Amino acid sequence: DNPPRHPIHSFFPKVDVGGKARRRYPTGTLMDYLDRTYDDGYIVEISPSCSEEARERDRLASDVHNCVRKAAEVHRRVRRYALSELLKPGMKLIDICERIENATRTYLESDCGKDAQLRAGIGFPTGVSLNHIAAHYSSNPGDRTVLKYDDVLKLDFGTHVNGHIVDCAFTWAPNPKFEDLLAAVKEATSVGLKECGIDVRLCDVGEAIQEVMESYECDIDGKHYQVKCVRNLQGHSIEPYTIHAGKSVPIVAGGPQTRMEEGEVFAIETFGTTGRGYVTESGECSHFALNPPGHKTRPVRLASAKQLQSTIQKHFKTLPWCRRYLERAGVSRYLLSLRHLVENGVVEEYPPLCDVRGSWVAQYEHTLILRPTCKEIVSQGEDW
């Protein structure tokens, strides 16, 4: 369906699973773990994935894996819809955002019943970052920006089922002059995914990514560039209702020696740039999230801010959101209250992250699960 008109479960009849009728969603790309010895002598040895204990741990996690796969299947279908119908020169960014989000809501029935969007729906605001903007740009109300043929668009959006988030992104750049830049980032992300595994150190993933990314060069408009990693952007672990959990996956060498662990979910994303390789916050903010319990805050004294805080908690919990979502929920005249919540530490703001103007940044990203028996790239599809 373009645009989607039916919920995702209608495409997957129930089957018998252990004596119960359940829907099973497609498994992602499976990759075996590899034993390896690093230059500094660190050794990763994986116990046989066919062991009875590993298979039992995998079985016990099957319901969670199925939730992630459901979210991933929606992501694949919405990506396909975006590529065929939305990503065209002349489209307004705000229309791209809203149609992608409405497609996700339709597939996951996010508007059907009380708390439906917390059970399944949008994982975070649709990112439509252009050119030198690497991340965290989504259209605010009234955005008139139009997509152009010479743009480099990072389409980064999330889906979730029961808080289990799939985070996946790709770059749209129809002008062939950007092909080498995109190839560098795509291969770097693929290498990062191959490098991941149980007991693998985060620093080793980052080193492998940087080696591949910065082996690429490109020529754009008569100027020669070495592709650089954006060194202060990273992949991250994902936990229920928490898009950026406790671990960060670097895309350059020299990161932490913290190890990946069985059962963890990671978003492996890389950013390559023709600029300086470092981003700073700049521009009007569109991404926000309620800080989790335990975060240091100051008392909220403004009555309207207290009401806004209650609305955010009701609709989003700790999932990220944007100003368009507040207005869709019926909230108006909220800017002063929102600023009060940010200043008092209740809400965190995530402004756009930008390299130098005139540069181009590309991004590719997938979500993977470190299962006991193998790793599964749940978000992978025919497009990417």
Catalytic residue positions? 156, 167, 236, 244, 269, 365
Question: How does DSSP classify residue 6?
Answer: S
Name the nearest CA neighbour of 206 among 117, 266, 143, 133: 266
Residues 229 and 115: their CA atoms lie apart, in Å, by 40
Residues 170 and 339: their CA atoms lie apart, in Å, by 32
Residues 331 and 14: their CA atoms lie apart, in Å, by 39
> Dihedral sign, CA of 362, 232, 238, 345?
negative
Name the nearest CA neighbour of 121 among 378, 320, 364, 332: 320
Name the nearest CA neighbour of 157 among 209, 116, 96: 96
For residue 330, count CB atoms less than 10 angstroms from its CB and return exposed for 0-12, middle for 13-18, buried for 19 or more. exposed
For residue 1, count CB atoms less than 10 angstroms from its CB and return exposed for 0-12, middle for 13-18, buried for 19 or more. exposed
DSSP, collapsed to helix, strand or coil, labels residue 372 as coil
Residues 137 and 342: their CA atoms lie apart, in Å, by 18
Q: How many residues does the chain have?
A: 384
- Find the helix packing angle between 62-81 and 93-108, rounded to 10°: 140
- What is the separation of C-alpha 32 from the centre of its chain, rounded to a whole number of angstroms? 23
60 contact partners, CB below 8 Å, separation of at least 6: none
